[in-house]
């Protein structure tokens, strides 16, 4: 199943980028480039969502991009995570 949540990407320090998911409490990722931060954000999102699903928790609603107000210099991007919900199912 495909899940899509927005993430806020910003330069955390020179040569260091961070992605934070406003809807997924405590879910973030970092990378040396914005592209690396994006790839790691997908991994972090999969891990966060998988844990919530395994624990039987309800997933949070997704914020609309226009409702998120990033700080100056930050960008918002939707990050898609594909999670296999049925063992042995090929996507």
3-state SS class at 16: strand
Mean per-residue pLDDT, 34-40? 96
Domain spanning 2-82: which CATH class is it, in words?
alpha beta
pLDDT over 80 (residue 88):
no
pLDDT digits (tens, 9 = 90+) for 56-77: 999 999 999 999 998 999 999 9
Q: What is the pLDDT of residue 86?
A: 65
Q: What is the pLDDT of residues 44-55, one digit of tens each?
A: 999 999 999 999
CA 80 to CA 2: how far, in whole Å? Answer: 7
Residue 14, Cβ neighbours under 10 Å: how many? Answer: 5
Coil, helix or strand for 76?
Answer: strand
Q: Say what the pLDDT of residue 84 is.
A: 83
Q: Is the pLDDT of residue 78 over 60?
A: yes
User: Residue 85 — pLDDT band, cuts 50, 70, 90?
Assistant: confident
Question: What are the sequence ranges of the domains in the chain?
Answer: 2-82
């Amino acid at each position: 199943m495909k899940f899509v949540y927005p993430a806020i990407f910003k330069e955390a320090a020179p040569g260091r980028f961070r992605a934070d998911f406003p809807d997924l409490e405590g879910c973030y990722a970092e990378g040396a480039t914005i592209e690396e931060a994006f790839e790691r954000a997908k991994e972090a999102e999969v891990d966060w969502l998988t844990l919530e699903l395994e624990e039987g928790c309800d997933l949070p609603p997704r914020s609309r991009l226009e409702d998120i107000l990033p700080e100056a210099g930050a960008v918002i991007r939707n990050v898609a995570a594909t999670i296999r919900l049925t063992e042995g199912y090929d996507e």
